[in-house]
Structures are given as structure tokens and as C-alpha cells.
A and B are shown apart, each in its own frame.
Chain A
Amino acid sequence: MTVGLVIVSHSPKIAEGVVELAEEMAEEVRVLAAGGTDDGEIGTSATRIADAIAAADSGDGVLVLVDLGSAVISTRMAIDELLEDELRGRVRISEGPVVEGAVIGAVQASTGSALDEVAKAAARAATLPKVKD
């Protein structure tokens, strides 16, 4: 299997949209959405995030892409407080931007790279030039 990805956004639609896009680019990679609160409101939920991480893991670890503010705090809480000890050690929060990081991370994961490599690839997306050659 491959490293899995979880997309955390305040907006359920953003999270689902990014999953749709990443899956298109790398269909063999498990990419799961954890957007919004438990009621589907704008916000983040540590329990939703923890469930998605557990479901995205196939034994090779999970990279979590986050948007802003409480997305980071909820993800930290999910990892520190809600995951099984055994899983906690192979979960990383990405420095990368949600959309670009998810696409690049998923493609890297699809090559069978380890979590470290996938995390590095997604983080590089933060400095990727867009309009400059």
C-alpha cells in the first residue's frame, strides 16, 4: 500500500474538493476528507480528523494537510489525544498548502515513497513558483 493523506479544512466542501482532485491525480492513494464540524458546520473537529487518519492509514503512515488556525490545533489534538499510540508515530502534519500539497503529496505517495519523502514533497509545494518560469 501507500502513505495515506487526510485533508483538513474549515469547509467540508473544500476538503471534499481537494480529495476529488488528489484522487484524480493518484487514484491508488487513500485520500480522505475531514472538513467542518461533526454537524457539517464551518470549522474543524478533532474527532472527525482522528477517524479519518485511522481510516487513511494502511500501515505506511498518514500525511495531514491543514488549512488555518483551528485546523492545526484540532489536528494536533487528534494526534496527541485521540489516536492509538501505535498509529501516532506515523502521522505528520504538513507545512504545505492544502491544494498544491495534497496533489504533489498524493503523486509522491503513489510512487510508493515513505512518509518522510511524501511530507517533503508536500512541503515543497509551499515555495513552488506559479507564474515565474
Chain B
Amino acid sequence: MFSSEQAVDWVRRTAAVIGEHATELTKLDAAIGDGDHGTNMARGFRAVLERLDGLPEGANLGAVFKAVSMALIGKVGGASGPLYGSFYLAIGRELGDATEVEDGAFAAALRAGYDSVVARGKAQLEDKTMLDALHPALAALDAALADGKDLGAALDAAEAAAREGVAATIPLIARKGRASYLGERSRDHQDPGATSSHLILGVLADVVNGR
């Protein structure tokens, strides 16, 4: 099961983790991007926290994720704003006015979020983007659930797959965003967007597993 309280917890703790890793994300981005991913994401998630404070007690899952999306799309600035904004908006749309859903329904919502990022960003796998963390993670999540594992165990598998996906971005040549203007020189750097996606999924696994 996944509840509104867990959703709020996921997002609040994500804001803290993004804040802690802001310098690292910015450093990764400075190597191949415009050097603002950490600052942008931290600013976006600070706006998310303000929005969450304005939500009524017991808000449903759709409302929680929509609030997250609206804060990110207006405040982040770079491509990660509308991309993560699309991710959370689609999750919220999928979950609607429920305040608690079954494991399978939550996994399907994450899948809808992923599909929305793909539709918006039009990146392919191995373009050195957040998809390179999200795609293997969701495949691992679905496989674990199909195997009869519970959501917590499945999300641990997803987190591990995302971590491997992040490492696998290092040798890739970027084909999207500012990094793509660098061509060959974008090699041998870890992608900041894949890194933040992994952080976000790691927090989710912790929340669902009660860690």
C-alpha cells in the first residue's frame, strides 16, 4: 500500500536530500552542463515545501503530486523543471482522489510518470539523461512485483537498478541538453539528471521501507 502520508514524506525528505546533494549535483552539471542542476533543484524543492504547507490536512494523492509539479515547473528553470514536473503531474493524475492505493496501482502511476517524461523530453535511452536511471529502475520494480515481492522490496531493487544506471551514464556521449553541444567531451562524466533521479527513488525506497 502507498498512502498520502507516505507521499508527503517522500517529497519532504526528497527536498532535504536534494538540498544535501545540491553541491554535488551542481559540480556534476558544471562539468558538462550549465552548472546549475543542484541549485535549480534545491530552489524547486524549497518551493515544493511551501506548496505542501498550503495543502489541507488529509489531501489526496492527486493533490499532493499536483502541488509538487506546479512548484517545480515554475521555479526550477532548466529542463529538469518541466521534466520532473511532468513526472509528478502524471503520477498524481493516475492516483486521482485516492488517499491510499495498492502496490500495483502505485507502480503503474510511477510508470505513467516515466512515460510522461519520455513524451515531454523526447530523449532515447543512452542519451545520457534521467531516463538512464528511471528506465532500469522501473523495469526492476515491475519485475520484482511480478515476482511476488512487496512494494518495499521492489523499490529497493529499483533503487539498485537506478544506481547502476547512473554509473552506466559515465561513458556515454550526451545527446540532449547543453551537454550534447560538447559531443565527445561529454564522455567520462556522470549525468546529473540521472543522479538526481536516483536520489529521488532512493528516498522513496527508504520511506516505503520505514527507514
A residues apposed to B, CB below 8 Å: 10, 36-39, 41-48, 69-70, 73-74, 76-77, 80-81
Say what secondary structure dominates the interface of chain B: helix
User: Of A10, A48, A73, which contacts B120 at CB under 8 A?
Assistant: A73
B104 at the interface (CB under 8 A from A): no
Contact-residue bracket for chain B: 20 to 34
Please pick, from B76, B83, B86, B178, the residue contacting A37 in the complex, using a CB distance under 8 A: B76
7 A-B residue pairs with Cβ-Cβ distance under 8 Å, sorted by A, are: A36-B77, A39-B75, A42-B77, A43-B40, A69-B178, A70-B82, A73-B83
Instruction: Let me know if B91 is at the binding interface, CB within 8 A.
Output: no
A43 and B73 contacting across the interface, CB-CB below 8 Å: no
- Residue in B43, B74, B177 whose beta carbon sits within 8 Å of that of A47 in the complex: B74
User: Does B78 lie within 8 Å of A43, measured CB to CB?
Assistant: yes
Do B78 and A38 touch (CB < 8 A)? no
Return chain A residues, CB-CB under 8 Å to B22. none
Interface centre among A42, A74, A76, by most chain B C-beta atoms within 10 angstroms, is A74
Q: Which B residues touch A41, using CB under 8 A?
A: 43, 77
Q: Does B81 contact A (CB under 8 A)?
A: yes
Q: Distance (Å) between the CB of A67 and the closest chain B CB?
A: 12
Chain B nearest Cβ from A51, distance in angstroms: 10
Q: How far apart are the CA atoms of A36 and B40 in the complex, in Å?
A: 12
Identify 4 new A-B residue pairs, CB closer than 8 A, beyond the known A44-B77, A69-B177, A70-B79. A43-B77, A73-B79, A73-B120, A74-B73
